[in-house]
Structure 1
Amino acid sequence: MRITRGLAWVLPGVALAGLVAVVQTPEAAAARPADRWGVIGRNTYGSPSAELRTGPYGRTGPEFPALQPPPYGRGSLGLTVDDGEKIAFGNETDFARTPLRRIRSVKYWIFTGIDSGTSTIRPSFSMEVNPKIENLPYTTLVYLPDVSLSPSRPVTHDFRNVWQQYDATAPGNRWGSSRSIDGTTTCTLSNPCSFDTLKSKMPNAVISYSVAIQKGTDDAFVGAVDGLQINNSLFDFERSGVHRRPC
């Protein structure tokens, strides 16, 4: 695994200097750096890359220049993951012990920077949780953008080299648990269900180890993620760091 210089700026214990306003709006003053985001090593393998970078700019028309800016600020979280690799970029501190029932809204933007191929599976959002169910102390809940339906995913979601928003809690969402909750395949990764159904099966669950953007272990992916919204907090990925602001 390699962690780029840009990523190292957001690791704990590293001072941040010269921060740039993340968006040119009055709300920008409310933004603040969130230094508890980074690669989750225990959920990463192979040689993937996660880099806080400037851009990328998307193409929304026939023009030669790429003119569509990142959704927030000027940067994003760039991801490069090969076949069979996995990377998780997340926060292992701030959401611990949060009751799952309190997670009401999850949205994020994806840039798929691949020109061809029909099997590209996009980055997912995951939460490691303690279901508070007998004999089940741990599972990972995963939003599956590619098998979700509109409006959870864009109506035309196979666009390449453009920014598109995915709403993991809108109608049509599909989530799966890495472990069976009730001894059946319902709400597993192979047989996903809605987020509301998943929460109803573990009403006392709490987030345990992390929330994260993750990719793998399926096909290769080159692209980026930006504007992760969890409830009323928006996490803007910028080259200077991860910035949190109300939304």
Structure 2
Amino acid sequence: MKARYAVGRSTAGRSGTGRSGTGRWSVLVGALLVALVSAFLPASAAAGTDDGRTPVDHWGVITRNTVGSPVAALRNGPYGSFGVAGTSARPPYGRGSLGIEVADNSTTLSPPSEKVDFGNEVDFYGKSLLGLRRVGFHVFQTGENVTYGGPTNMPNIRLEIDPNVNSADDYSTLVWVPAASPVTNAWSPFIDATTTGYWYLTGATGTTTGCTQAARCTFAALKAAFTTRNARPTVLTVAVGKGRDFMWIGAVDGLRLNDYVYDFEPDGVKTLHKR
């Protein structure tokens, strides 16, 4: 939507700017700042509330992307493990986190493993994927999870997108697979998805861009795969998830998207503005 500004003649005593053009410059600078901040800004942060009083929280289990009977629930802690002290012994933000539990062999489907996405289908809809420049999270990884599936048995960040690569391709899931957590049985430091792990796209978009689960992409290569094709992908949903592969029981906190951190707490998801 194009913003319209009524800029008339400036006279001393009416606007306080005389004929210097200061008022016009302020309007232009303000419009530029709004445009920069709104790139990948969640709609709830822009709108503030649903009814002017109640904070918006559109986060929860994405039911259509859930297989089996996994758990993705806001919880206290985890604190520890036992004997662990300092900042790694507690959630990085607040007192809670998103607890995730998936099984590897509990369904009659093929594969028999479970899958869950805990995310937001409202606030990021229509945002530019190419506007995403910071992304990642903190994870509570256990030694048992490593035993179940190896050191890279980790939860993912998933973004359902409209790739806009061509007229026939209007859906794909963009998946970040983290590298191994630097610690186990404790909270990790921030794991930066722009510099570690790998990304891939599902379906025809993966084949078209060359970013598939078999042909992994860095974050920079992923974005270049769209820009070189003059594609303008938009976001449909954002989620943290796990499956379908190995059993995993752990937690995630501090999901970062650009200048916002999503703090998973027992009473809801809090949006923190960070630089």
* TM bracket, shorter-chain basis: 0.7 to 0.9
Higher share of residues assigned helix: 2
Change (3 A) 1:44 1:198: same
Higher mean C-alpha deviation, range 202-211 or range 232-241: 202-211
Partner of 1:71: 92
| Higher-Rg member (1/2) | 2
Partner of 2:25: none
Q: Distance in 2 between matches of 1:173 and 1:192?
A: 9
What per-residue deviation string (whole Å, max 9, x for no partner) do you get for residues 206-234 of structure 1? 33421100100000000000000100111
Query: For 1:138, which of 171, 186, 203 is the aligned residue?
Result: 171
- Give, in angstroms, the shift of residue 106 of structure 1: 0.3
Query: For 2:121, which of 89, 92, 96 is the aligned residue?
Result: 92
Structure 1: runs of 5+ lacking an equivalent: 1-14, 16-31, 147-152
Partner of 1:129: 161
Partner of 1:160: 184
TM-score (norm 2): 0.68
After TM superposition, the structure 1 = structure 2 runs for residues 154-193 of structure 1, keeping only pairs within 5 Å, are 157=182, 159-164=183-188, 165-170=190-195, 172-181=196-205, 183=207, 186-193=210-217
Q: Distance in 1 between matches of 2:84 and 2:240?
A: 31
Partner of 2:72: 50
| RMSD, aligned CA | 2.8
Q: Distance in 2 between matches of 1:182 and 1:49?
A: 29
The reply on whether 1:104 has 2:133 as its aligned counterpart is yes
Tell me, what secondary structure is at the counterpart of 1:205?
coil
Q: Percent identity?
A: 40
- Give, in angstroms, the shift of residue 107 of structure 1: 1.7
Matching residue's letter, 1:50: A
Native 8 Å contact 1:111 1:161 kept in 2: yes
Q: Distance in 1 between matches of 2:244 and 2:74?
A: 21
Native 8 Å contact 1:180 1:188 kept in 2: no
TM-score (norm 1): 0.76
